[in-house]
Amino acid sequence: MPSPDPQPAFVLIRPQMGENIGAAARAMWNFGLDRMRIVDPRDGWPNQKAVVMASGAGRLLDEAQLFDDTAGAIGDCDFVYATTARPRDLTKPVFTPEAAMKDARARIAAGGKVAVMFGPERSGMENDDIARANAIISVPVNPEFASLNLAQCVLLTGYEWRREAVPAVDMTVAAVAAWAEQIEVEKLGAHFEERLDEAGFFFPEHKAANMKLNLRNLWSRMPLTRADVQMLHGILRQMVRWKDQG
């Protein structure tokens, strides 16, 4: 059964290769989308090559709706986007994938039923298909090489849909160990300062205070885990042992 989450239907118009349908299913499921509709696939349906390529997203293929034409695939929708990178002679609103999925989410939240159409791999969507859409999604690609693979386009659109629900954080740090507490960093700094003092590092004497301050500041800038602190203590102890043995 499709997931209960409100979402757009992704409509593949006359896809040519089973592998691309499977890759599109995988891309959709990566971002929690499972409403796939397929219009007149060139190599027939079902397609074993699509199943192999879906790799874990086979349920989408099992539940995909098959249609003979574009009109039937989008007949129950009240707003439809067509993805195309090529300029057209049809006057329609043009969205980036990000803006389109933001718009789609608002429409679905208001009770609307939305679809996104993706054209064939080789030639892209025909004007007859685009004419049925209410708006265009245009990916800002290299104009000298504007053709996107079907699954790539599905992936980009799916990512933007998901990003609206789960806002992307610009940067996080994945720590596999607990962060060191301030007291642990303080003791590490004291250990280094003690050993460096014994080694005569803080020279000349009138610069020693500032050198120690800079060293403390260095430790405070480092996001250290407890494992990091233990390792640095161990390195210093081993270096001292090695010196004493020499």
CATH (domain of 55): 3.40.1280.10
Number of domains in the chain: 2
Last residue of a domain, one of 119, 134, 165: 165
Are residues 104 and 1 in contact, defined by beta-carbon separation less than 8 angstroms?
no
In a domain, 173, yes or no: no
Q: How far apart are CA 191 and CA 236, in angstroms?
A: 8
pLDDT-based confidence at residue 86 (cuts at 50, 70, 90): low
Q: What's the rounded mean pLDDT across residues 166-179? A: 74
Could you list the residue range(s) of the whole structural domain that residue 141 is in?
Answer: 9-165
Say yes or no: 145 and 229 in one domain.
Answer: no
Bond from prior residue into 204 cis (ω within 30 degrees of 0): yes
Q: How far apart are CA 46 and CA 160, in angstroms?
A: 29
Say yes or no: 235 and 125 in one domain.
Answer: no
Q: What is the percent of the chain with per-residue pLDDT over 90, rounded to a whole number?
A: 72
Greater pLDDT, 89 or 79? 79
Phi-psi region of 7 (alpha: psi -120 to 50; beta: other; left: phi over 0): beta
Instruction: Look up the CATH number of the domain holding residue 193.
Output: 1.10.8
Max CA separation in the chain (angstroms): 86
In a domain, 139, yes or no: yes
Which of 103, 106, 90, 93 is closest to 138 using CA atoms?
93
Task: Give residue 172's pLDDT.
Answer: 74
Say yes or no: 188 and 159 in one domain.
Answer: no
Say yes or no: 208 and 112 in one domain.
Answer: no
What is the average pLDDT value for the chain, to the nearest integer?
A: 90
Say yes or no: 117 and 238 in one domain.
Answer: no
pLDDT-based confidence at residue 151 (cuts at 50, 70, 90): very high
Are residues 115 and 80 in contact, defined by beta-carbon separation less than 8 angstroms?
yes
DSSP state of 43: T
pLDDT surpassing 90 at residue 153: yes
Range with lowest mean pLDDT among 144-153, 168-177, 207-216: 168-177
Which of 23, 111, 99 is closest to 10 using CA atoms?
23
Last residue of a domain, one of 132, 165, 198: 165
pLDDT-based confidence at residue 87 (cuts at 50, 70, 90): low
Q: What is the percent of the chain with per-residue pLDDT over 70, rounded to a whole number?
A: 94
Query: How much is the pTM?
Result: 0.74
* Structure token pair of residue 94: 């043009």
Long-range contacts of 98-103 (CB under 8 A, 24+ apart): 98/160, 98/163, 100/135, 100/137, 100/157, 100/160, 101/157, 101/160, 101/161, 101/163, 101/164, 102/160, 102/164, 103/135
Task: Give residue 94's pLDDT.
Answer: 93
Q: Is 113 helix (H, G, I), strand (E, B) or coil?
A: coil
Say yes or no: 26 and 82 in one domain.
Answer: yes
Task: Give residue 4's pLDDT.
Answer: 75
Q: How far apart are CA 63 and CA 230, in angstroms?
A: 54
Q: How far apart are CA 135 and CA 80, in angstroms?
A: 7
Q: How far apart are CA 166 and CA 32, in angstroms?
A: 11
Q: How far apart are CA 137 and CA 114, in angstroms?
A: 13
